[in-house]
Amino acid sequence: MAESKKEQAPNNGAGTRRRGDVLENAILQAAWDELEATGYNRLTMEAVAVRAQTNKTAVYRRWPNKAQLVIAALIKFAPKPSIEAADTGDLRTDVLTFLQGIFKPLQAIGPETIHGLMSEYPGKEHPMSRPLPPRSEDALFAAMQAIVGNAEKRGELRPGQLPDRIVSLPVDLLRYEMLTTHGAVSEDVVVQIVDELFLPLVRVRASVQAE
């Protein structure tokens, strides 16, 4: 789709007009660079337009507000969480590695950006406002099932020892932390989830099964 002349980049001597995906990618790159340079709170649509060498109309036509623009930039440039089940040969290490693969990319985004998006993104459209998928369709729960299954094969757990609610506990608590704190989850919190909640429940379950 052709862009209007209003979306022509300012004259910088090159005399070139960017259209469509080229202009969109330039805006997203500018938004990402501006986010890294100034942080979410000080980022403005005007500053992004200047950095992208275009005008505000071109930015607002694609993303009606700052939150949606930043979400699009994060999708394109931010590190992606890993949802693959770790298999290190040890249940504790597997769960820690898996949870770290989820929260460390969020640490790179930073709590200011996460909190800003949670506060400003339209409520009904916010990704966090969507209901969680049923466990049968939840990729994070499936990964935890695989981790538990590997532990069963190694003899760390008896087959069928853990109910689904315990299997999903580390992921459920991580989600809870992200939703309630509106910020990046610390390494200490993840270790506490595993060492003080998940593994004690696993050990209690094992002792009951052994009786």
Q: What is the pLDDT of residues 122-133, one digit of tens each?
A: 554 555 555 567
Does residue 100 sit in the same domain as residue 28?
Answer: no
Does the residue 86 lie in any domain? no
Tell me the CATH number at 61: 1.10.10.60
Residue type, 155: G
- pLDDT attached to residue 122: 56
Does the residue 85 lie in any domain? no
Question: Which residues have a Cβ under 8 Å from the Cβ of 9 and sit 6 or more positions away?
Answer: 16, 17, 18, 23, 53, 54
Q: Which of 49, 77, 105 is the last residue of a domain?
A: 77
Structure tokens given for 12: 């910088």
pLDDT at 121 over 80: no
Does residue 99 sit in the same domain as residue 71?
Answer: no
- pLDDT attached to residue 110: 83
Does residue 118 sit in the same domain as residue 164?
Answer: yes
Does residue 173 sit in the same domain as residue 139?
Answer: yes
pTM of the complete model beyond 0.75:
no
Does residue 65 sit in the same domain as residue 102?
Answer: no
User: What domain count does the chain have?
Assistant: 2
Does the residue 169 lie in any domain? yes
With bands split at pLDDT 50, 70 and 90, how would you rate the model's confidence at 208?
low
- Domain span at residue 71? 5-77
Distance CA 62, CA 141 (A): 35
Q: Which of 21, 45, 77 is the last residue of a domain?
A: 77
Does residue 73 sit in the same domain as residue 121?
Answer: no
